[in-house]
Amino acid sequence: MKWVGGVAVVALLAVQATLWAQGALVAAVPQPYTDTGIPFAPANAAAVTTPSAPDAWGGPRTGTEETLSDRVANYRIEATLDPVRHTIDARQQLTWRNRSARDIKSVYVHLYLNAHKNENSTFYTEERNGGEAFRSGLDVGDAKFGYTQLRHVRQDGKAVPWQFVQPDGGPATDETVVRFDLPDSVAPGASTTLDIAFFDQLPRLTVRMGYFDTFHFLAQWFPKIAVLELPGERGAKEVRWNAHEYHAESEYYADFGHYDVKLTVPKGYTVGATGQLQGQPVEKNGLVTHHYMQGDVHDFAWTADSRTAPPLRATWKGPQPGAQPVEVTVLFPPEYRSNAAPVLQATLDSLAYFGRTLGPYPYRTVTAVIPPFNGREAGGMEYPTFFTANSVEDPAPDTLGRIDLDLVTIHEFGHGYFYGILASNEFEEPMLDEGLNEFWNLRMLRERKQRLHFTTSLWRRLGFAPSFDPFHFERIGSGLDDPADPLGESAYGRLEGIGPVYTRSALMLHDLEAQLGRDVMEKAMREYYRRWQFRHPSIADLRETLADVSGQRALVESTFARQVYAVQPVDDRIADFTSSEVLPQPGYRTVGGKQVNVTQEQAEEQAEAERERWEKAHPDAAEGRGPFPYRTAVLLRRKGAAVPQTLVVTFADGSRESVQWQGSERWKRFEWVKPVQAVSAQLDPERRHLLDANKLDDGRTLKADDSASQRWTFDFGTIVQTLLALLATI
Beta bridge partners, 152, equal 197
Of 45 and 8, the structure prediction assigns the larger pLDDT to 45
Q: In sequence order, which residues have a C-beta less than 8 Å from that of residue 394 and are 6 or more positions away? A: 400, 401, 402, 456, 457
Per-residue model confidence (pLDDT) at position 219: 95
For residue 710, pLDDT beyond 70: no
What is the rounded distance in angstroms from the CA atom of residue 715 to the CA atom of residue 696?
17
Phi/psi of residue 267, nearest 5 degrees: -60, 140
For residue 397, pLDDT beyond 60: yes
pLDDT > 90 in the chain, percent: 72
pLDDT band for position 323 (cuts 50, 70, 90): confident
Averaged over 549-560, what is the pLDDT?
97
What is the rounded distance in angstroms from the CA atom of residue 545 to the CA atom of residue 62?
17
pLDDT in tens, 213-240: 999 999 999 999 999 999 999 999 999 9
DSSP-assigned states of every residue in 681-704: EEESTT---TTBS-GGGGEEESS-
Per-residue model confidence (pLDDT) at position 389: 96
Per-residue model confidence (pLDDT) at position 703: 85
At 86 the three-state DSSP class reads coil
Averaged over 247-253, what is the pLDDT?
88
pLDDT > 70 in the chain, percent: 90
DSSP state of 377: G
CA-based radius of gyration for the chain: 32
Averaged over 290-302, what is the pLDDT?
98
CB atoms within 10 A of CB 670: 15
Most confident option among 1-15, 237-251, 406-420: 406-420
What is the rounded distance in angstroms from the CA atom of residue 571 to the CA atom of residue 562?
13
In 29-84, DSSP assigns E strands to 73-82
pLDDT band for position 134 (cuts 50, 70, 90): low
Helix ranges (DSSP H) in 23-174: 122-130
Per-residue model confidence (pLDDT) at position 724: 40
Integer angstrom CA distances of residue 563 from 62, 509, 575, 595 = 33, 10, 25, 61
pLDDT in tens, 609-652: 888 888 888 887 788 788 899 999 999 999 999 999 999 999 99
For residue 7, pLDDT beyond 70: no
Per-residue model confidence (pLDDT) at position 592: 84
Per-residue model confidence (pLDDT) at position 135: 55
Per-residue model confidence (pLDDT) at position 721: 43
pLDDT in tens, 475-532: 987 888 889 999 999 998 888 888 999 999 999 999 999 999 999 999 999 999 999 9
pLDDT band for position 723 (cuts 50, 70, 90): very low
For residue 40, pLDDT beyond 50: yes
Give 22: exposed, middle or buried? Use CB within 10 Å, 0-12, 13-18, 19+. exposed
DSSP-assigned states of every residue in 397-465: TTSHHHHHHHHHHHHHHHHIIIIIIS---TTT-GGGTHHHHHHHHHHHHHHTT--EE---HHHHHTT--
Per-residue model confidence (pLDDT) at position 25: 33
For residue 21, pLDDT beyond 90: no
What is the rounded distance in angstroms from the CA atom of residue 722 to the CA atom of residue 331?
36
Averaged over 1-28, what is the pLDDT?
31
Averaged over 686-708, what is the pLDDT?
85
pLDDT band for position 29 (cuts 50, 70, 90): very low
For residue 52, pLDDT beyond 50: yes
pLDDT band for position 385 (cuts 50, 70, 90): very high
Least confident interval from 325-329, 394-398, 506-510: 394-398
Beta bridge partners, 162, equal 180
pLDDT band for position 726 (cuts 50, 70, 90): very low
For residue 20, pLDDT beyond 80: no
Per-residue model confidence (pLDDT) at position 298: 98
Averaged over 119-126, what is the pLDDT?
91
On average, the pLDDT of the chain sits at 88
